[in-house]
Amino acid sequence: MSGRRDADGPSEEAEASGGEVTAAGPGDGVLAGAVRAKDPAQTDDGAAGAWRRREHPARDPEVDPAHDPAVGAAERRFRRQAAVVLAVLAAVILAVAAFSTPWRVLAAGPPDPARDFTAAEIARAQAFDAATSLPSYLGLALTLAFAALLVATPFGAKVLGRLKGPWWLRVVLGVLVLTAIVEAVRWPLGVWFETLLRDYGLSTQDWAGWTADRLKSLGVEAFLLCLMLLVLVGLARRVRRWWIPAAVGACALTVVMSFLYPVVFEPLFNDFTSMPQGSLRDNLLDMAERDGVPVQDVLVADASRRTTALNAYVSGFGATRRIVVYDTLLKAPQPQVELVVAHELGHAEADDVLYGTLVGALGAALGAVLLFVVFGAVRRRAGVTSIADPRAVGVVMGLMTLGSLIMGPAQNVISRHVEARADVHALDLTRDPATFIAMQKRLAITNISDLSPDPVEYVLYASHPSSPERIALARSWAELNGVPVP
Ligand SMILES: [Zn+2]
């Protein structure tokens, strides 16, 4: 998410992948069987829909434009306009990403895990990676399969065609029903992943805590989806060129969510306290001042009630910007904690969260326009003629999932460069590559990071350079800056 820059924990990605990557699955057989009896293509708004059709034929949100030549011509014109806007937006995003990404921070030597990690540490990382790969890839495959099912078949329209009530209620219920189906398949994979985390000593949660966390994440996800889809379907029912306000709305929602994320969503999952008075706090605030980054406070999250992993991050921007360290990190030697915070100051100074949010907001706008363009191509297969139809919730959710899966690797490429820049910032600020390397080793060993991710994992999941890459960067920095190479 663009609202947050994780500092250092590849294993937090692994942890998150239990929830995020292991996502969806094909619909459950009982439900699919139950809806087959009735053809939802026949269900509509009933009398109310018919009335609208007579009174306002050109504005009927659920009329199939392909069946009305005048509406069809207008639709084609709108689609051409949308395609032009789409091309312009894509060019702007590419240009912003190309110019704001620090492509060449510092040329680092080749990574060499064997130089800094013992054979046992490497073997443990490989074993953990092998064990978690299966649920991760299975989750990814199920996510893709479910999204494809929603986009390329009338499954979603059929399930949602069973729902009754006003359109807004059917949108809300549609989101809840599809989220529940996805989660029914995701849940066992999540349990599997959590069991592995416990086997390897990374999780400190019991099942009650794990379940509560998972339900809260689901609640947030479903709430945001409902909000987006209510606005989208509502716009499509009123405005022919709904993609214009939808793009503006998606843009605004991304900025608002990223701004509110630290104060609205993070407290749902963790308690945050000011770092206690003492030499660590003084040193961190001194360092921030030296760095020219205004920081009033460093917050400590009670992550230890969930995990043993180490991490820190910057989230929010402007008035909500904050630097957070996990309480698990505070057991590390003080100079190592300072190095982690120095990395976070690098994010703060470069306004990485704000830039990420702006690129994300443009991406969200592009997504809204793309939805308008692509929907015409998939609506027949998906069995829904218009976004104004609440049954379109399924195909929209499927397209959103596919869109975010496709964009993931591009986001990772940018993220890895941004992370490398924050690492160089930490080295410039502390001029202490030896502690930097010690800290990287601690992070990698504690979080059981993948020390040599294969190309597929790297492309799909690596938001940070690998630990050996970060260590190689520190050595190159030392050579360049005339500091003894650790
Ligand atoms: Zn970072």
105: confidence class by pLDDT, cuts 50, 70, 90: confident
Q: Per-residue pLDDT tens for 171-192?
A: 999 999 999 999 999 999 999 9
pLDDT band at 5 (very low <50, low <70, confident <90, very high): low
User: How high is the pLDDT of residue 361?
Assistant: 96
Ligand 1 midpoint to CA 393 (Å): 35
CA separation for the pair 9, 457 (Å, rounded)? 15
Angle between helices 119-152 and 167-199 (to 10 degrees): 160
How much is the pLDDT for 32?
A: 29
Distance CA 415, CA 14 (A): 16
* Bridge pairing between strands 322-326 and 312-315: antiparallel
pLDDT class of 68 with cuts at 50, 70, 90 = low
Dist. CA 428 → ligand 1 center (Å): 15
pLDDT above 90: percentage of residues in the chain: 80
Q: How far apart are CA 87 and CA 34, in angstroms?
A: 43
pLDDT at position 107: 84
* CA-CA-CA-CA dihedral for 26, 29, 30, 31, to nearest 10: 40
- Residue 343, annotated ligand binder? yes
Rounded to whole angstroms, how far apart are CA atoms 224 and 234? 15
What is residue 40's predicted lDDT score, i.e. its pLDDT?
31
Neighbours of 140 (CB within 10 A): 19
CA distance 284 to 282: 6
Query: For the residues 58-78, what does the mean pLDDT come to?
Result: 64
As a whole number of angstroms, the distance between CA 107 and CA 429 comes to 19
| Token pair for 437 | 């390397």
Radius of gyration, CA atoms only, the chain: 24
pLDDT-above-70 percentage for the chain: 85
pLDDT-based confidence at residue 34 (cuts at 50, 70, 90)? very low
Contact 403, 250 (CB under 8 A): no
DSSP 4: E
Cβ–Cβ < 8 Å for 171, 226: yes
**Residue numbers annotated as active site:** 344, 423
Counted residue by residue, the chain has a size of 486
Q: How far away, in angstroms, is 344 Cα from ligand 1 center?
A: 6
Find where tokens 């009530």 sit: 165
Helix (H), strand (E), coil (C) string for 281-309: HHHHHHHHHHHCCCCCCEEEECHHHCECC
**Mean predicted lDDT score pLDDT of the chain:** 87
Arithmetic mean of pLDDT, 49-72: 47
Could you tell me the distance, in angstroms and rounded to a whole number, from the CA of residue 341 to the centre of ligand 1?
10
Q: What is the pLDDT of residue 369?
A: 96
- Is 279 in contact with 307 (CB distance < 8 Å)? no
- pLDDT band at 53; cut points 50, 70, 90: very low
User: Would you say residue 12 has pLDDT above 50?
Assistant: no
pLDDT given at position 52:
32
- What's residue 6's pLDDT? 56
Backbone phi, then psi, for 6, in 5-degree steps? -70, 145
Give residue-wise pLDDT tens across range 328-372. Answer: 999 999 999 999 999 999 999 999 999 999 999 999 999 999 999
pLDDT at 294: 81
Among residues 438, 445, 428, which one has the least CA distance to residue 471? 438
Q: Which of 49-63, 76-90, 347-361, 411-425 has the lowest mean pLDDT?
A: 49-63
Cβ neighbors of 43 (< 8 A, separation 6 or more) are 161
Q: Is the pLDDT of residue 50 over 60?
A: no
464 is in an annotated binding site: no
What is the pLDDT at residue 72? 78
Contacts of 132 (CB under 8 A, 6+ apart): 14, 17, 193, 196
Q: Residues whose CB is under 5 A from ligand 1 (ion)? A: 7, 419, 422
How far is residue 168's CA from residue 231's CA, in Å, rounded to a whole number? 9
Q: Is the dihedral of CA 160, 395, 367, 320 positive or negative?
A: positive
Q: Per the annotation, does 15 bind a ligand?
A: no
For range 451-479, the mean pLDDT = 96
Q: Report the separation in Å between the CA atom of 473 and the middle of ligand 1, taken as the mean of its atom positions.
A: 14
